[in-house]
Structures are given as C-alpha cells and as structure tokens.
Structure 1
C-alpha cells in the first residue's frame, strides 16, 4: 500500500486560509493525501474563524477536526514528514522553521481576507472567493502524476499552480 502524500498548509493564524486549504484537500482526496495546516507560533487564533466555517459549510466541506496549531508541531523531530509545504502568506516565508526531511515548498500567496474586510459579511465573501480559488488549484494538484514523477518537475508544477487566477 502506498503511503499518503503529506501536505502542510501555512498561514499566520491558522484560522482561515490554511484551514480552508486543509479542509478542501481532504475533501477532494483523503485517500492519497494527508492534509494538515499550521500557523506562526505566538500568532495563532483560538478557534477557526467564523468566515471559514461558513464558507466550508456552504460548500458542503467538513471542517478539520484539529484546532489551530503552531508550525512547531510539524517542525520537531519525530513529527510526520511533510512531502510539500505550501505557504499561503508571503510574509511568513522567511520566518518558517527548517522542516524535517526537506519537503518541497511553494508559495501560493493569498490575501488575509479577515484583515482586509470591513465586516463579517465581507469576511465571509472573501473566504468563499478564497475557497473557490484554492479548490481549483487543489483539483489540479490531486491530478498531478505523483507516483514515479520527476521530483524537480513535480516541484515546478506545484509552484506554477501559484500563478493561476
């Protein structure tokens, strides 16, 4: 039996962007992929943002069961080795730890819809739009030829997904 491909999504608070990505990938293909999410230590939210809950509920996608967690959970020795780390907030790239096993990394820059919104409805609208965009990228990701693929070509393909609109 083939092991699942471990993907870790990183955002600042681990309450909206990375949660949407984790939930969406798990929804699309939880047999081949193990989706995880995390945020910056000291900046984590206490709970998943209500806009993320509403966006996922409207799309019929289950909310991840784990609460917001720090990237320290995945960076320590003995933690599950990620195959890919996808950062959703460009300001976090230089701050991230060394990931065990040197996984391939990509930046899929998304705005902080909570910080950019003027109210709850704006946040929900932004979360829905973000979920649509993430879903399209993740649909392409799950359809990449993973087993036996050239690692360099696969890394380039995952990074190229960042440039989709």
Structure 2
C-alpha cells in the first residue's frame, strides 16, 4: 500500500521493541488508510528483536506486528523515512536524545511504562496488553482529530494533550 498522501507518524521509544512497536502496529491497524506509521529507538539502546510480550499483545488483539525489525532513529533518517507530520515519543528518557527531525514535525510525549524492562515474563505480558489498550484509546482519538482543517497550534495542543490521558 502506498504511503503517498498519508499522514506520517513516527513513534519513538528507547529500544523500539515494545511501546513504539505496539503504537506502530495499532495505528496501522485502526488508521492504515489515512496514516503511515513508523517506529524507531535510540541507537544506544536498540533491541535486536521485537519483545515477545509485544508480539503476544498484538496477537491477542488480532493485530499484525510491523514488518520491520527494531530500527534506530539514525537508520530511519538515513533511509529517508525520517520526514513525518508527527513524532510521538513514548518515554521520557529519549526525548532529549533525539535528533532534529527533518521538516519540523509536531512532537508530543505520550509517556508509557517501560514494560520491556520487566524481568518477569508474565508481568511483561500483562503490561504489554495494558500498554496496547492505552495506546489504542489515544490513537482512536488521534485519528479523529481534524488534521487537515483548523489551526496547527490547536492541533499540536490536542495531540500533546492525548499524552496526559490515563
């Protein structure tokens, strides 16, 4: 499916193994006709594979995982995929480390717990499902924002406000 004309959203998390993967897959699932999702992580902390808890949560929700393996934001930019309309960061740690994104996209912090850091697989699996549910609620609201109409300042505020949902 072509990404031309779609609103491009990049989700960023530390390892790009769970939070950003869940957001990426969820947006493709619920908004794939209008949105193109990508995800990436910090080059310093990048995982080698998608976390098993993320794969389990996506399977239980009948969502396909992204086809890509965890990718650093540097690699994403090298591939020319770094131009986006929105950059949504899913953890506090990486917000200050990120590069300047091309095209001055709107940014938002939607902080989510670092479930991938949990050592107990059952807690990680439960946390991944909770994270997916929380992201889906936010993304359902996000895809219904008047992205093509209205003023950019209000839209930016609305996207940032979604990060304060509980």
- TM normalised by structure 2 equals 0.94
Which whole-Å CA distance do the structure 2 matches of 1:118 and 1:95 have between them?
A: 25
Which whole-Å CA distance do the structure 2 matches of 1:20 and 1:81 have between them?
A: 21
Cα 1:77/1:122, change in 2 over 3 Å = closer
Deviations 1:123-143 (A, max 9, x none): 000000000000000000001
Cα drift, residue 79 of structure 1: 3.5
Asked whether the 8 Å contact 1:74–1:99 carries over to 2, the reply is no
2:120: which partner in 1?
119
Cα drift, residue 56 of structure 1: 0.3
Asked whether the 8 Å contact 2:17–2:116 carries over to 1, the reply is no
Cα drift, residue 42 of structure 1: 2.7
Cα 1:35/1:78, change in 2 over 3 Å = closer
1:132: which partner in 2?
133
- TM normalised by structure 1 equals 0.94
The count of residues paired between Structure 1 and Structure 2 equals 163
2:86: which partner in 1?
84
Deviations 1:96-119 (A, max 9, x none): 00000010000001110122x341
Asked whether the 8 Å contact 1:104–1:155 carries over to 2, the reply is yes
Task: Verify: 1:151 aligned to 2:128, yes or no.
Answer: no
Q: Spell out structure 1 runs of 4+ moving beyond 6 A.
A: none
Cα 1:38/1:78, change in 2 over 3 Å = closer
Asked whether the 8 Å contact 1:85–1:105 carries over to 2, the reply is yes
Cα drift, residue 43 of structure 1: 1.4
Cα drift, residue 91 of structure 1: 1.1
CA RMSD of aligned residues (A): 1.4
1:70: which partner in 2?
72
2:108: which partner in 1?
106
Q: Which runs of 5+ in 1 are unaligned?
A: none
2:22: which partner in 1?
20
